[in-house]
Structure 1
C-alpha cells in the first residue's frame, strides 16, 4: 500500500496503462512525479470587492497559495460593497459577547436581506418598456456560515421544544426569513443544499460543509477579530463562496 499520496500516484501509473490523471489543489504542494503543473489563479467566482477581502487570507499572505492575478477580461464593475451587521453588547437589544446567540443580530440581518437586498421579494410590475427587470433573489440564494455552530430547535417526541435554536437563528425567523439549519452529519440535507433542491430557505450551515458551494449572497457570522490558524481561515473558507454580495456579521462599532 502506498505510504503517501505521491507514492500512490507512482504505483497507479505503474499499474494502469495510458493513465490520464488530473489533480487539483489550492496549495503550493510539490506535485507527484510525471505530472505537469499548471497554476490557475484568475478569479472567476467572486467580484473584485470580494476578491480583495479573500486576498487578505493567510493562505495568500503566507504564500501557501499563489496570489490572484489580474483578470484577462476586466470585470464590468467592482461588485456591491460589503455590508456589515455590527454586534455591540447592550446596543439596541443586542446581547452577549458574540453575535451567534444574539437575536437582535439575526433580526437585523433579516431586515437587510428582505428590505435592502429584496431577497424573497416579487418582480416589479411591467412598465411596458423593453427593459427586463432582474428577478429578485430567492431565499435559497443566501448562505449563512458561522465560525461557531448555530443550532436549530431541539424537540421531544411530542414536538415540544426542549432546547431553543441559537438566538441568531431565532432572530432571522422573527424577521420573517425561512431558515434551514444544516447539521454537519445530515448527509441528505447537505446533498440537497449542494444542488439547491428542497424548500426555498436561507441555509445556515457549518463551515465544514460549504466547500465547493457558491451563492450570490454569503453571510459570514464572525464575532471577535479573526485570530485563526492557517487551516482555519474564514476569508479563504467562507468568503470565497460568494459570487456577488458579501455580508459580514461582526463585533465592534461601525
Structure 2
C-alpha cells in the first residue's frame, strides 16, 4: 500500500467504535499499522480489525480499561508485544488519544466527587500518562492528536465535569507542543461537536433532531467527518501545525 503514511504505526485509543473506529480505518487506508485499543468490548475492537483487514490494511487489538489501576502498564505491554510481532520493533509514530469517559452529570450541584474522579482519570490523567510512555517509543517527526470537545468552548452547565476534564486535554496539547517541537513532534487537538457514534440514543428522534440543529449544516456529524481531520494532522501536510485546537464541529460554535 503506497500512501501518505505507508510503513507508519499508530495507537488509537477507544477505537472499537465511533470516531476512534473511523480514525483507525482512515489511518489504515493511508498505510498505517493500527493498534486498536478497547476498554471492555473486545468483540467490537475485533470488528474494527476485521474492517481494516478487509480494506487491505493491518491491525491488532490491545485491551486496557483506562482509569483503572495499572491500565497504562497493561496497554503498553500489549502495544509493544503487538508492534514486535508485526514489525520486529517497538516504534510508535502516531498516537491518537480518543478514549473518553462520558456521562450526563446533571446540575453542577448534583455532580459527585466520584463522577469528577472518573472523568479526570480517563479524560485527563490517562492521556497524560499514555503520552509519557509513548515518548520512549516515538521517533522524531511523530504525531500526537488529542480528541477534545466543543463543550470546552461553549457553556453547557450539565456537562461541567466532562468539560473540565476535556479542557485538560487542550492544556496538554498546548504545553507539549512547545516541549516536543525540538524533536519535530507535533501535538494538536480536535474538537468534535455532536457526532453520531452509533449509540442507541442517536436512534431516537427526540435526541437526533435537537442535536442536529447545533451544526451550521443542520445535521449530526458522522465519525468520518472528525476522523478525516485527525488523519490530516498525522500527515506531512500538517507538519507546520502544532499546538492547535481544530474545530471539527460543523460550525456548531459559530453562534
When the two structures are superposed, what TM-score results if normalisation uses the length of structure 1? 0.29
Structure that is richer in helix per residue: 2
Q: Which has the larger radius of gyration?
A: 1
Higher normalized contact order (CA 8 Å, seq sep 6+, divided by chain length): 1
When the two structures are superposed, what TM-score results if normalisation uses the length of structure 2? 0.29
